Amino acid sequence: MASEPGPAGLLTMLGSSTRRACLVCLLGLVALGCSKKGAPQTPASTGERSPSVYTVNYPLAYFAERLAPEGVEVVFPAPPEVDPAFWKPTPDAIGQYQRADLILLNGAGYARWTRTATLPKSRLVITADGCRDTFLRTGDTMTHQHGPDGDHAHEGAAFTTWLDMRLALCQASRVRDSLIELAPESKHSIETNFEALTHDLTQLDTRLRGAANAWGDQPMLASHPVYQYLADACGLRIESTHFEPGEALTPKDIQDLDSLLEQHPAKVMLWEAQPLPDTEQTLGDRGITVVVFDPAAQPPANGDFLTVMTGNATRLACATRGETCP
């Protein structure tokens, strides 16, 4: 830029406000630290506090807690009584996510609220991205059409990716990479923790596949369409209903069940939680064994993700081997 003459005092005055704005911008740029992929991250907050990691479900929180070094706070803020996939956080809760140093999303369309929320992309990791070429659908897709744009579908994405232990491990590896970017000085401990987690998840995978292999290609039922990845990983043929564990089956439900059984004569039914005794009786009358398989989207009252999944694997194995499940 050519130098221009002018009243010195006026230019100084002119310079101050524009120079102030430039300084703020430069300070903002200087504040950019290491990024998740080498790209600069925008600062989440100022002041001395431990780095925070926010997740959209419990499995990711578990992986982060297993891998994170001391001093990293892992937060999963959804209330325990709601399904995190359908939780609608308040603006304040979204604000907490915005201020986090790292936000772990599941991917595959999990946590519907993230589609319409404003989250800082620079601190966002979609853990399941890249772990599969395409994600599964639930099978009950309803497309609709209005105007000239043609069909599009709203529902039908299957998102419980962590029930496939290999996908879970892939997600955990993304968590590991993100934590190393967040706390590079703790890379060694994170890697060590990851090795231990890998071992645990691999063992779980083996147990689940073993239980599934014992069942072969026999049909299986599920109370809700949340076991797609488990079925896909373990080769299980699962058809889903929409039965709630805490609600009694209506005559229509039973009618639908019987219709389903005609084409899909299952002898085992996976439930997210223990159904009512009457429901269990109704299923028992039809020769169906109830197997509680908790998807572990929320933290358990006792134990952790590993103990829950281990219990799931044990119960599945018992059922598929025709043994009495504990």
Partner 1 sequence: MKDSLYLAWRYLHHHRAKTLLLVLSLTVFLGLPLVMRAMSAVIQQSLMARAESTPLLLGKKGSSLDLVVEALYFQPKGIEALTAADADEVDATGLALAIPMRTGLLAQQFPLVGTSLDYFAFRGLESANGRALATLGECVIGAEVAATLGLKPGDPMLTSPSTLFDLAGVYPLRLHVVGTLKPSYGPDDRAVFVDVKTAWVAEGLGHGHQDLATASGDVVLKRTDGTATGNAKLVQYSEITDANVDSFHFHGDPSSHPLSAIIVVPADDKAGVLLRGRFVNDSARQLLRPAQVVEGLNAQIFRFERVLQIIVWTVGLATALMFVLVMVLSWRLRADELRTMARLGCSRWKAVQIMGAEVFLMVGTSVVLAAFFGFVIAHYGETWLQNLVLRGS
Q: Which residues bind partner 1 (CB under 8 A)?
A: 1-2, 4-7, 10-11, 13-15, 17-22, 24-29, 31-32, 35, 37-43, 88, 91, 94-95, 98, 112-113, 116-122, 141-147, 149-152, 154-155
Residue closer to partner 1, measured from CB, 37 or 49: 37
Residue closer to partner 1, measured from CB, 26 or 273: 26
Strand-pair category, 102-105 with 52-55: parallel
* Spatial distance between the Cα atoms of 15 and 18, rounded to a whole number of angstroms: 6
Residue closer to partner 1, measured from CB, 20 or 49: 20
The H or E element containing residue 24 is helix 8-30
Quote the least distance from Cβ 30 to partner 1, whole Å.
11
In terms of Cβ atoms closer than 10 Å to its own Cβ (0-12, 13-18, 19+), residue 286 is: middle
Residue closer to partner 1, measured from CB, 19 or 264: 19
Residue closer to partner 1, measured from CB, 81 or 151: 151
**Interacting residues of 126 by C-beta distance below 8 A, sequence separation 6+:** 105, 106, 107
Cβ 297 vs Cβ 82: under 8 Å = no
Quote the least distance from Cβ 138 to partner 1, whole Å.
13
DSSP assignment of 304-325: -HHHHHHHHHHHHHHHHTTPPP
Quote the least distance from Cβ 177 to partner 1, whole Å.
11
Quote the least distance from Cβ 193 to partner 1, whole Å.
24
Token pair in block for residue 149: 């744009």
* Residue carrying structure tokens 């070094």: 69
Quote the least distance from Cβ 21 to partner 1, whole Å.
6
